[in-house]
A = this chain, B = another copy of it.
C-alpha cells in the first residue's frame, strides 16, 4: 500500500527504531450502520494495524487518523514489501516521538477507502458487484463512528490520544465532539474547523477532472474494467500544488529546465512539470477514483459549527479532551489562522490547549516531515500524557 501524500520528501527513515515488520489486520462489523446522509451500510470491514502493546489498564491506546490519500499502514514495513514504509514512520516507533514503548498505536483505513476497508471497490452484497458509484457518501462523523466500532472491538474504552494531520486532524477534533468521554487528548495538526471556499474550489476542480474523464463511466468504471486515470492524475497534480508552499516549490524546482533550454513544445520544459506529471501518474496507478471523490466531499462537508449558527465555540463546548493544535507558517491550504480558530473556540470553553505555530518551509505537507522542532513539540506533549 502506498504511503502518505508526499513520501518522497520523507527521507530520514531510522531503521534502528522502526516498529519493524507489521501485518495488516481486518475486522468485520455485521451490524448495519446508518450514515449521516441517511444511507445505510449493511455492515462493513475495516483494515487496521497496531504497533506496541495495549497495557493491562487499556489506557495507552493512540489512534492515528489518515488524510486524503493515507491509510492504515502508518509505521513499519511489510515482510514482503521492505520498501513500503508506513506514512508516519518518522513519528512512530520505539523511542520516537509517538513512542511505541509507551503507547499502543492503531492505524485504520477509513470507511470508503481503497486500501482494504469497505469502500467503492468492495462487493456490494445486494448486487454481487462492486459498489462503484453506489457506495454511499461518508462523512468525518461516519469515519469516527466506524473507528469507535474498532475501538470497541479492541476493547479500548478511551483513547489516550487521537492524532491526525489535515483531514486526520478533523477526525481527531470530531472524536472530541462525538465521543467526549472516549478521548483524553486530541492532537489536531495542520487542520481547520471547516474548509474555506477556496479549499472547496480546489476539491471541486479535482472532482470535475475525475467525473468528466470518459473512463469514469458514472463511477462504474471498475465494472467496465476501466480506471479514470487521467482524471485522477489531474486531481493529484492540483492537490500537489496546494500541498507545497510557493517558496518550497521555488526552492525545490525554481525555473530549472529539464533539458537546459526552452523546447517550444508541450513536453516537459521545467522540472516542476516533470514532478507534477510523475506524482499524478503514480497516484493514478493505485488510488481509487470513487474514494477520492468521497473523501473530498467528506472534507467539504465537515463543519462542526454548522448546527450552531456558525458559532465554533458553541460547537466545541461539549469537547472534554485536552488539545494539542499545531500549524505550519507556510501552509496555505490550512493556514495557521485556521488552527487559531480552533484554539480560540477551545479557549473560550476553558479547555486546555497547547498551540504551536511551526516555522517550516514545506507548506501543508510539513505535517508529514520530521522537522526537528515539530517532532520535539509532539514528543514533549506525548511524554506528558499519563497512561
Please list the residues of chain A having a beta carbon within 8 angstroms of any beta carbon in chain B.
Answer: 37-39, 136-137, 194-198, 200-202, 204-205, 207-209, 211-212, 214, 230, 233-234, 237-238, 240-241, 244, 246, 249-250, 252-255, 262, 264-266, 269-270, 272-273, 276-277, 280, 293, 297, 300-301, 303, 332
Contacts and interface: CB of A to CB of B under 8 A. Distances in A.
B208 A246 contact: no
Contact of A200 (B194, B207, B273): B273
Nearest to A38: B264
Nearest to A335: B246
A201 B252 CA distance: 13
A207 B262 CA distance: 17
B266 A201 contact: no
Contacts of A301: 262, 269
Contacts of A270: 197, 200, 204, 300
A264 B195 CA distance: 16
Nearest to A275: B201
B205 A250 contact: no
15 contacts: A38-B264, A196-B249, A196-B250, A197-B270, A198-B244, A201-B276, A205-B238, A205-B276, A212-B230, A212-B233, A212-B234, A266-B297, A269-B300, A269-B301, A270-B300
A197 B252 contact: yes
Contacts of A37: 262, 264
A200 B269 CA distance: 10
B249 A266 contact: no
A194 B255 contact: yes
A38 B116 CA distance: 54
Contacts of A303: 255
Contact of A204 (B38, B214, B244, B276): B276
8 closest pairs, A vs B, by CB? A37-B264, A197-B249, A137-B264, A197-B253, A197-B272, A198-B246, A204-B273, A205-B237
A277 B201 CA distance: 10
Contacts of A136: 264
**Highest count of chain B CB atoms <10 Å: which of A136, A195, A280, A300:** A300
Contacts of A209: 209, 234
**Most chain B CB neighbours (cut-off 10 Å) among A39, A137, A204, A270:** A204
Given A37-B264, A201-B241, 11 more contacts: A194-B255, A197-B246, A197-B254, A197-B255, A198-B250, A201-B249, A208-B234, A262-B301, A266-B293, A269-B301, A270-B300
A121 to B, nearest CB: 18
Contact of A201 (B198, B272, B300): B272
A39 B265 CA distance: 12
Of the candidates A194, A265, A297, the one having the most CB atoms from chain B within 10 angstroms of its own CB is A297
A237 B269 CA distance: 24
Q: Which among A38, A238, A293 has the highest number of chain B CB atoms within 10 Å?
A: A238
A87 to B, nearest CB: 23
Contacts of A204: 237, 270, 272-273, 276-277
Contact of A195 (B202, B211, B255, B293): B255
